[in-house]
Structure 1
Amino acid sequence: MEVQEARGLLGLLAALQLWIRDLGAAALGRDDRVVNADELPFLRETARRLELTPDRVAAAIERVEETRMLALGNVNPQLLVSGMLLELEETLTRAA
């Protein structure tokens, strides 16, 4: 992966981690911890609809972190992101 491409992917993964963290804060009613406060109504509704639990949020953040670590190596970014997205969908949407 080229340096510029890696930087872009790492930035995207950091933003995704922050978004998931905000979902977790909204799920717990910790609105004061939400960074993307302008998206608070959407975050609350999404957290409610997904019936998010702290464990599922933590697992999702961990999966993004694993992807970030792999992205630092010589891994196909398309395969990396597609695998991560499938796992995130499973983690965040499974029944509570």
Structure 2
Amino acid sequence: MIEARQEKLTNEDANGYGDDYFGMLLQSQANSKISMQDIVDECKTFYLAGHETTSALLTWTAVLLAMHPEWQERARKEVIQVLCSNTPSIDGLAQLKIVR
């Protein structure tokens, strides 16, 4: 990813490193404010934080559904009714009111 962003800059892309957090990190590294290892560490932190947040959310959802079996049953019925045996899609998930 770093090499791809640097390639864009080399090819005089108007957006340079990009206007997202990753681009700001690369710009800081180019200005010798942080090391490449710092950038890699920041990316790992964001990845793990996102993973842990999602994991914690799913765990908490399972706990709440176990504590409230009536909602668990309502959610199960809704999923079966809306999605049937189809693979979930964005449109199908948008129709799930209880689950959402």
- How high is the TM-score relative to the length of structure 2? 0.32
Select the structure with the greater relative contact order (CA < 8 A; seq sep ≥ 6): 1
Higher helix share: 1
When Rg is computed on C-alpha atoms for both structures, the one with the higher figure is 2
